[in-house]
Structure 1
Amino acid sequence: MSVKPYFHLNDENKMPVIGFGTYAPETYPKRMAEEATEIAIRAGYRHIDGAYLYGNEAEVGRAIQKTIADGTIRREDLFYTGKLWSTFHSPDLVRQGLERSLKDLQLDYLDLFLIHVPVDLQPGEDLLPVDENGKYLYGNTNIQDTWEAMEQCKVAGRVKSIGVSNFNRRQLELILKKPRLKYKPVCNQVECHLYLNQEKMLKFCKSHDILLVGYSTLGSSRDGTWGIGGDCPVLLEDPVLNHIAKKLGKTPAQVALRFLLQRGIVPLAKSFTKHRIEENLQVFNFNLEKKDMRSLEALNKNLRYDKMSMWEDHPQYPFYDEY
């Protein structure tokens, strides 16, 4: 099965079919995000996925500006995804959240702007506001109102496309059923890999012409961040995946990414190692046969590495629903 270099979005824009993820735990020096992003762009990635929450958009922006300045890329050939953090859900703060990212990145517009998570936190300078007892301070913004403010960012030309991340079906439907909906989400970015293949969410999104973008596509570092458990299986050590990879003369990571591509999903690949960054992009010169696709599909365990368990009591926590 051939894979084209772009997926067309429902607003007539297009997204490169594989992206480079820039998230790193706080234990990693922020300069590594700058170095890795520069390596990725020079290796051929044209889709960079970032977020205000990651705290490294200034570093990522420097890498982008450097590669534009030396002629490696033109701005119009690069697709950058940013995300609205939960303390900016109030409609009067959405544009402010966007402008902070644009300033750090030194960009005039984002190609894609996502609501990072449906969980609404109280506005403030803290990324994760808590009270004196350490309990998270939740907001009460209607997600439809947040979406309307997102639409205004697109109308203003500060973003080209808008979408969501970590939304379940019910939360997506809230937006799709919004009165006077101007633009529906172009994508839903969710955790997606061999152990959580998101088959039902994929079918739902396809039925509404919404693209599925996958993060944690190669598993997780299992460092405890975002509720990731240290006892979870290591995806890239899976024997079935490794058998197929060895048969094809490919790395397990390349096969795991190709599996998502052939299902019509945009995978985000993340690494800070130069040869792995380059290897992860080499997924266009081979195909997975139907029997191998079936074998990989059978690995699904509905296993979520990124549980965001600190928000399990939030009314907008997305992971109680089946999908």
Structure 2
Amino acid sequence: MTTPDTLRDTRIPLAHGSGALPAVGFGTLIPDPLATRQAVKAALETGFRHLDGAERYRNETAVGDGMQDAFRAGTVRREDVFVTTKLWNTNHRPERVKPALEASLRRLQLDEIDCYLIHTPFAFQPGDEQDPRDARGQVIYDPAVTLVETWHAMERLVDDGLSRAIGLSDITLEKLREIVAAARIKPAVVQVESHPYLPEWELLEFCRTHGIVLQAFAPLGHGLEPKLLDDAVITAIAQRVLKTPAQVALAWAVQRGTAFLTTSTKPPRIRENFDISALPEDAMQEMRDRITTNVRFNSVVTTGVPGFIPGTR
């Protein structure tokens, strides 16, 4: 009798929060609300137990509707789903942090969130305009608040029982060190772009040392050039283990101790991204030794302006 592969069911206990993060996560950066609702429902039916959203995606209501569809259908219970959302750049001032989360909870139809992330370390001019620009089209930043001040406001959300854990997204190692040094409640999760072309080994080691889960977005390279899924090392391993290149890249992410997020509106692709199996150790070593391409696809870490969000205005 064969032992079932449990890689896709991996949960990583949070050292600085309650609960455990499912390593295989579903991202909800989907522009169309109806497609979002259907994709969330399909992801939960497939077996995904972590949903990642954000105020900035402008579709939290649809994510909440998709979850409620699944709850009513008996597909899954609320307590079995780990839900993350994010504080947007225009809400970094401490007095805006709690109202921002409360608004997200109303849209998501939840009483509490499992993890709340600061979407980027950059504070934008506060207000209702999510992408404030000056007359020259330049982003208007907010010099009146520091990331540490925002973090302390995030800590109070845990005290108030609104979020079970807190973390950061689109952060550099330098900025993360600053927050870890100043934090009363340490970050539980750090979400950054990471894939075989951007393994972030130094950041991962720092996270391991401090009990922080590193979660990868764009784990498949987001379909941009150079195409990760066409890489010769990855495609050769895929042929050897009878999996797709995407499944190889995603298995690599979990086996090295990180979590990941994938996004799709297509049920077959959603199922493919969930159906991962452990790679042989020699394949893991081969990916570390033989993949030499190094590229970052998203410049958000230098500007605070997300590179993958389609324009909707």
What is the TM-score normalised by the length of structure 2? 0.91
1:196–1:300 CA contact under 8 A, matched in 2: no
Q: Matched residues in 2 for 1:287 and 1:234: separation? A: 23
User: Deviations along 1:184-221, whole A, 9 cap, x unmatched?
Assistant: 00011000111111111101111111110000001114
Structure 1 counterpart of 2:152: 148
**Equivalent residue for 2:11, pick from 2, 6, 17:** 6
Structure 2 counterpart of 1:308: 300
1:293–1:77: structure 2 CA closer, same or farther, 3 Å change rule?
Answer: same
Residue 217 of structure 1 aligns with an amino acid whose one-letter code is P
Q: Matched residues in 1 for 2:252 and 2:292: separation? A: 12
1:77 aligns with 2:80: yes
Residue 135 of structure 1 aligns with an amino acid whose one-letter code is Q
User: Deviations along 1:231-285, whole A, 9 cap, x unmatched?
Assistant: x2111122221111111111111110000111000011211110110111111xx
Structure 2 counterpart of 1:238: 231
1:187–1:210 CA contact under 8 A, matched in 2: yes
1:199 aligns with 2:201: yes
Structure 1 counterpart of 2:71: 68
Structure 2 counterpart of 1:187: 189
1:170 aligns with 2:174: yes
1:289 aligns with 2:291: no
Residue 259 of structure 1 aligns with an amino acid whose one-letter code is W
1:96–1:143: structure 2 CA closer, same or farther, 3 Å change rule?
Answer: same
Q: Matched residues in 1 for 2:63 and 2:6: separation? A: 31
Q: Matched residues in 1 for 2:111 and 2:93: separation? A: 23
Residue 264 of structure 1 aligns with an amino acid whose one-letter code is G
Structure 1 counterpart of 2:310: none
Higher helix share: 2
**Equivalent residue for 1:22, pick from 28, 33, 42:** 28
Q: Matched residues in 1 for 2:82 and 2:281: separation? A: 31
Q: Matched residues in 1 for 2:55 and 2:285: separation? A: 37
Residue 211 of structure 2 aligns with an amino acid whose one-letter code is D
1:163–1:188 CA contact under 8 A, matched in 2: yes
1:61–1:106 CA contact under 8 A, matched in 2: yes
Structure 2 SS opposite 1:294: helix
What is the TM-score normalised by the length of structure 1? 0.88
Q: Matched residues in 1 for 2:148 and 2:302: separation? A: 24
1:22–1:33 CA contact under 8 A, matched in 2: yes
Pairs within 5 Å for 1:200-239: 200-222=202-224, 232-239=225-232
2:169–2:190 CA contact under 8 A, matched in 1: yes
Q: Matched residues in 1 for 2:241 and 2:128: separation? A: 50
Structure 2 counterpart of 1:52: 55
Q: How big is the shift at 1:310?
A: 8.0
1:52–1:82 CA contact under 8 A, matched in 2: yes
2:194–2:219 CA contact under 8 A, matched in 1: yes
**Equivalent residue for 2:268, pick from 258, 267, 275:** 275
Aligned sequence identity (%) = 37
2:120–2:169 CA contact under 8 A, matched in 1: yes
Instruction: Point out 4+ residue stretches in structure 1 off by more than 6 angstroms.
Output: none
Q: Matched residues in 2 for 1:22 and 1:295: separation? A: 32
2:112–2:163 CA contact under 8 A, matched in 1: yes
Q: How big is the shift at 1:33?
A: 1.2
Residue 85 of structure 1 aligns with an amino acid whose one-letter code is W
User: Deviations along 1:65-102, whole A, 9 cap, x unmatched?
Assistant: 11112211111111001000000000000011111211
Q: Matched residues in 2 for 1:282 and 1:50: separation? A: 22
**Equivalent residue for 1:116, pick from 90, 115, 119:** 119
Structure 1 unmatched runs, 5+: 223-231, 315-323
